[in-house]
């Protein structure tokens, strides 16, 4: 008997991105003669892949607000290991962990899958939203995140330190803000703060105010508060 994962793998390649899946799904849903199971699968995919990974606008539902019934969660838990597409698998795993279905294991797998997706991108801006989602999942794990957080925190930190600030200053600043709840050890942030400060100073000196605004004016207030004492200390030296 054909199953939901059979349908998903038949119609979507492993590397199809969300936009492509949604476009194809919309096309399939226009077919009035779809078998019932295929129709149900495409309707659910269309719903799930439109969920926002980060804070949504008023027209978009957040992935954290998606609360399917236990029967649906059971199906997701059964089929995700056999789904080839990384994006679909990541969303399904994320939904499972949000709904506390074997939370730690599914959270770990969701983060791994988001990370795999990020490896197909080359810039920090392309990776930013999924890195933020990884960081937010880590925070949701509470004290249980300590060991697993080390890899993701350090890997994202290293990418921020290597970022081209002319192109990536907003993404770098935003990621630093999201890193703070994962670990508040000041020593982890000194080099990150220095990188932002250096970029801001250079952009001001060169009169590149658009770059400056991306670094400085978009810097979140809680990040300013966190590193405020570093600014004071370093300005005296």
DSSP string, 74-121: HHHHHHGGG---HHHHHHHHHHHHHTTSSHHHHHHHHHHHHHHHHTT-
Position 229 pLDDT exceeds 70: no
How would residue 233 be classed by pLDDT, with cut points 50, 70 and 90?
very low
User: Between these two residues, 226 and 90, which has the higher pLDDT value?
Assistant: 90
Range of the domain at 7: 1-120
Q: Please give the Cα distance from 146 to 14 (Å, whole number).
A: 31
Q: Please indicate, yes or no, if residue 130 is contained in any of the structural domains.
A: no
Do 149 and 83 sit in the same domain of this protein? Answer: no
Same domain? 102 vs 163? no
Rounded mean pLDDT, 40-50: 95
Q: Evaluate whether residue 35 is within a structural domain.
A: yes
Give the dihedral sign, CA 216/219/224/228.
negative
Whether residue 125 lies inside any domain: the answer is: no
- Considering the domain boundaries, does residue 50 fall inside one? yes
What per-residue confidence (pLDDT) applies to 142? 86
- Asked if residue 148 and residue 234 are part of one domain, the reply reads yes
pLDDT surpassing 50 at residue 191: yes
Q: Which of 76-85, 127-136, 228-237 has the lowest mean pLDDT?
A: 228-237
**Does the pLDDT value for residue 37 go beyond 50?**
yes
Q: Does 86 lie in the same domain as 16?
A: yes
Per-residue pLDDT reduced to its tens digit, 64-82: 999 999 999 999 999 999 9
Q: Is 185 domain-assigned?
A: yes
- Clarify whether residues 83 and 51 are in a common domain: yes
Indicate whether 6 and 60 sit together in one domain: yes
What are the pLDDT digits (tens) for 146-170?
888 889 999 999 999 999 998 998 9
The residue from 120, 135, 165 where one domain ends is 120
């Amino acid at each position: 008997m054909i199953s939901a994962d059979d349908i998903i793998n038949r119609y979507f390649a492993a590397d199809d991105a969300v936009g492509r899946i949604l476009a194809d799904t919309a096309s399939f849903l226009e077919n009035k003669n779809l078998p019932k199971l295929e129709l149900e699968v495409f309707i659910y995919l269309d719903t799930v892949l439109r969920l926002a990974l980060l804070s949504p606008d008023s027209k978009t539902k957040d992935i954290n607000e998606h609360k399917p019934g236990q029967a649906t969660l059971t199906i997701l838990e059964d089929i995700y290991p056999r789904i080839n597409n990384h994006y679909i698998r990541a969303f399904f795993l994320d939904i499972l962990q949000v709904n506390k279905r074997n939370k730690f294991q599914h959270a770990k797998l969701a983060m791994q899958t988001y990370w795999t997706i990020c490896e197909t991108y080359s810039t920090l801006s392309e990776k930013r939203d999924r890195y933020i989602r990884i960081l937010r999942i880590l925070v949701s794990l509470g004290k249980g995140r300590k060991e697993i957080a080390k890899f993701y925190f350090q890997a994202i930190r290293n990418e921020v330190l290597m970022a081209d600030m002319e192109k990536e200053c907003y993404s770098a600043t935003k990621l630093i803000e999201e890193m703070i709840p994962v670990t508040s050890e000041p020593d982890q942030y000194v080099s990150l703060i220095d990188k932002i400060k250096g970029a801001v100073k250079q952009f001001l000196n060169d009169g590149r105010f658009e770059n400056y605004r991306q670094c400085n004016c978009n810097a979140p207030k809680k990040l300013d508060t966190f590193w405020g004492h570093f600014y004071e200390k370093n300005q005296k030296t």
